[in-house]
Amino acid sequence: MAKNAIGVIYARFESAGLKIVAAKMVHLTREQAEGFYAEHRGRPFFDGLVTFMTSGPIMVQVLEGNDAVRRNREIMGATNPENALAGTLRADYADSLTENAVHGSDSPASAEREIAYFFSAGDLCPRTR
């Protein structure tokens, strides 16, 4: 969010055919960030990631569309921005491996868990048109 690129990032999702069906701005507490990234606890980057994710507000959203997880990962680019292809979000907006601009679920199962972390079923607004 520090780069004021929310609209540009959302436009990239939408131009790729994905629909935003829920979105909100949150400022994570340390406890929330540690809970969200619990699977990474004990890894060398964990503390830096939690510190970054709690350093200011973030946008969380739910994307809908055919093969949304895979398509989102293509739009984001490689986790390490040094390996991200030109034109991907991480190539364009990431500062480092820890501050890599965007997070995206790595599987439909992860997406389900991560969506439930931030949204209730009533928060989702499927786009029918």
Angle between helices 108-118 and 68-76 (to 10 degrees): 80
Catalytic residue among 10, 19, 23, 103: 103
Question: Whose structure tokens read 């048109």?
Answer: 129
27 is catalytic: no
Give the phi and the psi of residue 64 in degrees, each rounded to 5: -125, 145
Q: Catalytic residue positions?
A: 103
